[in-house]
Amino acid sequence: MEKPILLLDLDLCTGCRACMVACSLAKEKTSSLSLSRLRVLKNEPVCLAVPVICEQCAKAPCENACPVGAITRNPDTQALTVDREKCIGCKECVWACPFGAITVREGLAVKCDLCDGDPECSKVCTPGAIKFERLKPFDLERRMRSLERRVKALTTIL
């Protein structure tokens, strides 16, 4: 059975960025936007907010790009995780990720690991823009529509 993933609904994101500080608090025990695994990009004059988060791709460019095999899939959660012992800090994964979902901290790659199956960001997302759910066929369609809208929205920001 498919594992739950983080589903984004652009229409519900209010741009509050609680997810970002919650992520940093859960993962780094401190409050910071730059230490968050996910980003919320914004176009402020039109109040548009677009969350950018690791999609845990099935054919993961980051996994393929890593020259030392530091990025592997956790069999329990299906999350792609970075082994910081193995990571050499070459940043190939950062360039490979089409979403810009991987960042670098202290020289090494940092990415979303779905909080070992209990992601903090979805817990603080009151409007329900980030949901941690199993993907149903119906959702797949919704997700593709959502992605399409996000790419379109991103072009107005970037």
Degrees to nearest 5, angle at CA 14 with 10 and 20: 90
- Applying CB under 8 A, the site for another protein has a residue count of 31
Strand partners, 71: 82
Shortest gap between Cβ of 139 and another protein (angstroms)? 22
How far apart (Å, rounded) are the C-alpha atoms in residues 114 and 132? 9
Binding residue for another protein (CB under 8 A) from 11, 67, 85, 106? 11
Contact segment (CB under 8 A) with another protein among 54-62, 74-82, 118-126, 135-143 equals: 118-126
Nearer to another protein, 30 or 59 (CB): 30
Asked if 33 is part of the footprint of another protein (rule: CB under 8 A), the reply reads yes
Binding residue for another protein (CB under 8 A) from 84, 127, 140, 152? 127
Binding residue for another protein (CB under 8 A) from 5, 17, 60, 110? 17
Torsion of CA 113, 98, 85, 31, to 10 degrees: -50
Instruction: Determine contact, residues 96/61, Cβ cutoff 8 Å.
Output: yes
Shortest gap between Cβ of 37 and another protein (angstroms)? 14
How far apart (Å, rounded) are the C-alpha atoms in residues 104 and 107? 6
Binding residue for another protein (CB under 8 A) from 68, 104, 126, 145? 126
**Strand, helix or coil at 103?**
strand
